[in-house]
Amino acid sequence: MSGAALVTGASRNIGRGIALALARDGYPVACFGRDRSALTETADLIGEAGGTASVHVGDASSDTDLEVFARDAAERHGGIAAVVNNAGVMREARVGDTTPDAFREVINVNLVAAFVLARAAYPHLRERGGVVINIGSMFASLGVPAAASYCASKAGIEGLTRSLAAEWGRDGIRVVNVAPGYVRSDISAAALDDPALAKRILSRIPLKRVSEPEEIGDLVAFLASPRAGFMTGETVMIDGGQRMHV
């Protein structure tokens, strides 16, 4: 594969699942996040499976860290073929208990970081007609109490995806948004570990289960491949049908 796949938030959960899936498809994977130990574990898993990975420690809320990430990954792997904007945070709080700074924190990590990294990677993506895959959320299209900052950031990801796709299509760059529902991860652990809440959540999912990080990874790998070569500007839901029943 010519050029690396850059994955933010690759240390665990969905990000690790995405990194492993892209590596299986032949991408050298540049893994970005704050936890060096966890990132190294992801890279080691890729190496054990015969793939290639590099570790890049940084903060998704830092423009400089993201720009350095893009530069270093391109230098190390001979270019950039794909960017996966997966890093994200969720702060559950009612609007009255959410300060403007707390709201901005979520917007910066979940939305602004995706813009910054895509922009930094653009010259490299243009060289080979690459792809940007943003990880949004089912919550972007729902009104969810105590999640205003998260819902707003993920709705912004949908708009960013469509705008980049429209602007960069002439350069052969595709941009797609993946919108998961509940995924077994650190973010969802509190809800899924509560028997009553987990029962209520599963009752709204036609498939009667949550997804696994590997399933999100498989979808991302497909969307990054030539098999999805005529898809751009779209949001792909992967929620077990939950949005139909909320």
pLDDT for 11-21, tens place per residue? 999 999 999 99
Strands in 235-238's sheet, in edge-to-edge order, are: 53-57, 29-33, 4-8, 80-85, 131-135, 174-180, 235-238
HSE value, Cβ hemisphere, 13 Å, CA-based, for 117: 39
For residue 223, give the nearest of 159, 162, 176 by alpha carbon. Answer: 176
Q: What is the mean pLDDT of residues 96-123?
A: 96
For residue 147, give the nearest of 204, 86, 91, 88 by alpha carbon. Answer: 91
pLDDT at position 187, please?
73
Report the sign of the C-alpha dihedral through residues 29, 34, 40, 42, in that order.
negative
pLDDT at position 143, please?
78
150 as an active site residue: the answer is yes
HSE value, Cβ hemisphere, 13 Å, CA-based, for 209: 5
More confident residue, 238 or 194: 238
pLDDT for 158-202, tens place per residue? 999 999 999 999 999 999 999 999 998 877 777 788 889 889 889
pLDDT for 65-97, tens place per residue? 999 999 999 999 999 999 999 999 888 889 899
For residue 59, give the nearest of 113, 15, 5, 137 by alpha carbon. Answer: 113
One of 27, 122, 150, 182 is an active-site residue; which one?
A: 150
Widest CA span in the chain: 51
Rounded to the nearest 5°, which phi and psi values hold at 235?
Answer: -105, 125
Rounded to the nearest 5°, which phi and psi values hold at 58?
Answer: -175, 175
Q: Tokens 């240390």 correspond to what residue?
A: 11
pLDDT for 125-154, tens place per residue? 999 999 999 999 999 988 788 889 999 999
pLDDT at position 23, please?
98
HSE value, Cβ hemisphere, 13 Å, CA-based, for 139: 19
pLDDT at position 175, please?
98
- Give the span between the Cα atoms of 121 and 125, in whole angstroms: 6
pLDDT at position 86, please?
98
Is it the case that residue 41 has pLDDT exceeding 60?
A: yes
pLDDT at position 1, please?
62
For residue 169, give the nearest of 233, 80, 82 by alpha carbon. Answer: 233
% of the chain surpassing 90 pLDDT? 81
Cβ atoms of 130 and 78 closer than 8 Å: no
pLDDT at position 246, please?
52
Average per-residue pLDDT for the chain = 94
Query: According to the 3-state scheme, what is the secondary structure of 60-117?
Result: CCCHHHHHHHHHHHHHHHCCEEEEEECCCCCCCCCHHHCCHHHHHHHHHHHHHHHHHH
Is it the case that residue 245 has pLDDT exceeding 80?
A: no
